[in-house]
């Protein structure tokens, strides 16, 4: 077998593993639109560079038919590649959007590594989900001292309302408040007249008219978007990749 054939086989195997990993990431951990909002493209470059490029390239360099110790070399390359991919997947998993939290006047995409689970009494919010982000809401504490403590924590770089799982509750319980804080979708459409077609297609897909929808900011790591809600009851429709501010 030539080194080119060996590298080609290694490349096909690596590509297969990478596609399985990508399927897991896009279908479960980072469903649309959270892949774009979290800046997943950068993570994809790292993973593909490690899994698809590095291993086959090393095989191309070191492979020589009949070479003594070749099996050991290839085994070590595979183990190193697996270790690098595992670390990459660990980083991606830690950065995955665990919760989409309505707090005060916006939705916040909260990564799994950012949530403080201490004190959480609801089992639904006692750990980061592995099957995609859960939409929830964070209630503002009634105790002024606790509110002040959280405020100073946030100002000092600590966790804010949206990262404290003990304050999480079902989004439906605060959906009316979300609608009260939201702006008519017509405001967004007026700011982006060049995106009239995209907004119209979005509304048509969801069976809505413009006057039946409102929006709030969806704050994420890389790209803020507009979270569109039903004006009638606050149900989430989806997100538009437009600056909500």
What are the tens digits of pLDDT across the range 158-214?
A: 888 899 999 999 999 999 999 999 999 999 999 999 999 999 999 999 999 999 999
Structure tokens at 228: 């569109």
Placement of tokens 């009260």 in the chain: 180
121-165 residue pLDDT tens? 888 999 999 999 999 999 988 888 888 888 888 888 788 889 999
**pLDDT value at position 11?**
84
Q: Where are the domains of the chain?
A: 3-94, 97-175, 182-245
Averaged pLDDT of the chain = 88
User: What is the number of alpha carbons within 13 Å of residue 224 lying toward its C-beta?
Assistant: 11
| Contacts with 26 (C-beta within 8 Å, 6 or more apart), sequence order | 35
**pLDDT value at position 74?**
82
Residue 135 and residue 100 in contact, taking contact as beta carbons nearer than 8 Å: yes
**pLDDT value at position 52?**
72
Handedness of CA 200, 204, 210, 215 (dihedral sign): negative
Cis peptide before 33 (omega within 30 of 0): yes
Residue 119 and residue 166 in contact, taking contact as beta carbons nearer than 8 Å: yes
User: DSSP strand E in the chain: where?
Assistant: 97-103, 106-111, 134-138, 168-170, 183-184, 213-219, 225-230, 236-240
């Amino acid at each position: 077998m030539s080194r080119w054939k060996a590298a080609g086989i290694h490349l096909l195997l690596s590509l297969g593993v990478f596609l399985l990993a990508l399927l897991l990431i896009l279908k479960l951990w980072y469903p649309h639109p959270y892949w774009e909002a979290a800046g997943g493209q950068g993570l994809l470059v790292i993973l593909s560079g490690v899994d698809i490029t590095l291993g086959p390239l090393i095989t191309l360099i070191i492979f020589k038919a009949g070479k003594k110790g070749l099996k050991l070399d290839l085994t070590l390359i595979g183990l190193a590649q697996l270790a690098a991919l595992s670390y990459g997947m660990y980083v991606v998993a830690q950065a995955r959007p665990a919760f989409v939290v309505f707090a005060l006047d916006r939705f916040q995409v909260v990564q799994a590594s950012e949530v403080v689970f201490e004190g959480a009494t609801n089992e639904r919010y006692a750990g980061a989900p592995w099957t995609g982000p859960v939409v929830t809401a964070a209630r503002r504490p009634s105790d002024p001292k606790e509110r002040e403590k959280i405020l100073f924590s946030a100002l000092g770089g600590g966790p804010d309302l949206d990262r404290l799982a003990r304050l999480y509750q079902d989004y439906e319980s605060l959906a009316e408040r979300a609608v009260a804080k939201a702006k008519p979708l017509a405001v967004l459409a007026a700011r982006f007249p060049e995106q009239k077609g995209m907004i119209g297609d979005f509304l048509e897909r969801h069976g809505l008219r413009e006057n039946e929808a409102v929006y709030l900011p969806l704050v994420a790591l890389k790209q803020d978007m507009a979270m569109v809600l039903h004006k009638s009851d606050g149900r989430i429709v989806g997100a538009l990749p437009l600056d909500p501010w």
